[in-house]
């Protein structure tokens, strides 16, 4: 098993679901810590991902660092289709050079509820 490097966290808030022997990196190892700080500074809960990423790229330029690349990020697409009786959801992910179907879910659909809960 390889040893993780970088900032490591063992948060008490996760102690009930994560054993004490499990440690997780608190930062993506390929980003400079100054860029990670810029992400924290920009993320006010209202800014979009694109706005934050642009600001981080500008910060990288100022620091003389390469702009972070989004290559290798998870990419996906969700396709919804519906008819009178059901709704179908297909989930696709990008696999090397083409989209691959990874999940299909079908749900019943209609004007009436499937079940009615009656108070006791």
Is 119 contained in some domain?
A: no
Into how many domains does the chain fold?
Answer: 2
- Residues 19 and 42 grouped into a single domain: yes
- Residues 59 and 100 grouped into a single domain: no
Is 36 contained in some domain?
A: yes
Q: What is the largest CA-CA distance in the chain?
A: 68
- Whether the full predicted model's pTM is greater than 0.75, yes or no, is no
Is 2 contained in some domain?
A: no
Residues of the domain holding 101: 76-108
- Buried b / exposed e over 84-119, threshold 16 CB at 10 Å, is eeeeeeeebeeeeeeeeeeeeeeeeeeeeeeeeeee
pLDDT per residue as tens, the chain (120 positions): 333 333 334 344 444 444 444 444 443 446 788 888 898 899 888 888 889 989 998 999 999 888 877 665 667 888 889 888 899 999 988 777 788 889 999 998 887 777 777 887
Is 87 contained in some domain?
A: yes
- Residues 12 and 36 grouped into a single domain: yes
**Quick check: 114 and 107 in contact, CB under 8 A?**
no
Tokens of 11: 């948060």
């Amino acid at each position: 098993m390889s040893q993780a490097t970088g900032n490591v966290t063992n948060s008490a808030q996760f102690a009930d679901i994560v054993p004490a022997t499990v440690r997780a990196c608190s930062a993506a190892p390929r980003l400079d810590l100054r860029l990670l700080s810029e992400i924290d500074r920009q993320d006010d809960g209202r800014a979009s991902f694109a706005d934050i990423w642009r600001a981080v790229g500008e910060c990288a330029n100022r620091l003389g660092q390469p702009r972070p690349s989004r290559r290798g990020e998870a990419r996906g697409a969700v396709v919804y289709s519906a008819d009178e009786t059901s709704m179908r959801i297909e989930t696709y992910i990008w696999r090397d050079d083409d989209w691959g179907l990874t999940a299909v879910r079908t749900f019943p659909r209609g004007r009436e509820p499937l079940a009615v809960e009656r108070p006791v």
